[in-house]
Amino acid sequence: MPVDAQAAIDLLKELRALTADEHGAQRLAWSPTWLKARAWFQSKLSELPIEHHLDAAGNSWTTLEGESQKALILGSHLDSVPNGGWLDGCLGVIAAYAVLRRIAEEYSGKPPVTVRLVDWADEEGARFGRSLFGSSAFAGTHTIEQDRARTDASGATLEAALAACGVSIDAIGNAGVERKNAAAYLELHIEQGPVLESMGLPLAAVLGTKGVERHAITFLGQEAHSGSTPMAARHDALAAAAKLALEIRPIAMRHPHAVCTVGSVKTFPGIVTAVVGRCEATLDQRDLDADVLATMYREAQEKSRQFAEEEGCTVEWSRIWNIAPEPFHPELITQCEEAIVETAGRSHRMPSGPLHDAAEVSRAGIPTVMMFVQSLHGISHNKIEDTSEDHLRLAIAAFDKLASKTIEWMRAL
């Protein structure tokens, strides 16, 4: 029985019409538009033989009970960034719905394993700066104490926004009960980057999410008059930072998937008539391999000290944030690749640079894999975000195949 990919695409368009304005999607988590999107989605599920509830962190769970309690979980997120696209997150939720519906029909409402659909709460963290909110509560990696005091641009607290949606911040860890019987997690998502388009491929099996090392780096030199200070006598903090900004390219390019970015540079005093005495830069380094990440971090530190010395400066590092790489399940990656090849002829394996809810699920020890579909022009988090309908059809069909393969894999466990 084939999955109805066209019906899923029609639903995505319906959701866009319901929750986007001329600037793009407005399904900001904990907002009235987000609640409207969720209510709309539930109305589509009403004629299926399912149980539905929200967990303690506001994640929305829809369960089709099977012969076995072992659960296959399919999901993504309906929330969007402000002025977001029509596919980020909701493609995965709607595709999961299409697959759930196909399975319910094929097995007359009683599949061999339990199938659950999850719409994670506040994946984007766009309003309070806390990404992966619901999935981290599910995984037990939530950080209530740091998150309690978070506020949005208007000064409203995360705690109050949650309460308005019936979620108590002190209880979100109870979402962990949903991990019971979870045997596998699958998520379809747009790539949000240019790799698949540049290769002319519709789909990829995702190897995992990259780890991140994010640091503030401050070079300290000596402020001096730009007219009176000879070139050889300068302690130019910007010169040292500039050398590092170029050096991170070879540091990253020694590894096939690694990326390093100096995203911000501030100079002090920052005036046209003074040599820079202090330069504050940021560095973001990512790779799927923890050893590669550690090597790149060490190399950047060593080079920063070398460049500081060459320029008569000193350098200080402080960590802004870091997270370990999260490799997905090898057998599910292989199945994902097979499903793609059977559907679209050719596949590709790639890590994800952005974080996803799937990383939290995998961190909780649940076998996990993601499938990526090509993003046109590599653009996301923007109203021009798009994927061709041909590729959306292939993606939903391949995701459905992956779900069938995973059910067979679970039955053999």
* Half-sphere exposure at residue 273, Cβ-oriented, CA atoms within 13 angstroms: 3
| Alpha-carbon gap, residue 37 to 16, rounded angstroms | 9
Are the C-beta atoms of residues 91 and 76 closer than 8 Å to each other? yes
The Cα diameter of the chain in Å comes to 85
Residue 78 Cβ, how far from Zn ion at the closest point, in Å?
10
Residue 244 Cβ, how far from Zn ion at the closest point, in Å?
32
Cβ-based nearer residue to Zn ion, 124 or 213: 124
Residue 165 Cβ, how far from Zn ion at the closest point, in Å?
20
Are the C-beta atoms of residues 363 and 139 closer than 8 Å to each other? yes
Nearest to 148 by CA among 170, 176, 124, 132: 170
Cβ-based nearer residue to Zn ion, 173 or 353: 353
Residue 357 Cβ, how far from Zn ion at the closest point, in Å?
8
Cβ-based nearer residue to Zn ion, 337 or 357: 357
Binding site for Zn ion (CB under 5 A): 88-89
Residue 88 Cβ, how far from Zn ion at the closest point, in Å?
4
| Alpha-carbon gap, residue 78 to 15, rounded angstroms | 10
Are the C-beta atoms of residues 190 and 274 closer than 8 Å to each other? no
Residue 79 Cβ, how far from Zn ion at the closest point, in Å?
9
Cβ-based nearer residue to Zn ion, 80 or 347: 80
| Alpha-carbon gap, residue 367 to 185, rounded angstroms | 6
Residue nearest to Zn ion (CB): 89
Are the C-beta atoms of residues 86 and 385 closer than 8 Å to each other? yes
Cβ-based nearer residue to Zn ion, 88 or 326: 88
CA dihedral sign, ordered 269, 275, 280, 281: positive
| Alpha-carbon gap, residue 76 to 389, rounded angstroms | 20
DSSP 239-306: HHHHHHHHHHHHHHHTSSS-EEEEEEEEEES--TTEE-SEEEEEEEEEES-HHHHHHHHHHHHHHHHH
Cβ-based nearer residue to Zn ion, 57 or 91: 91
Cβ-based nearer residue to Zn ion, 191 or 287: 191
Residue 212 Cβ, how far from Zn ion at the closest point, in Å?
16
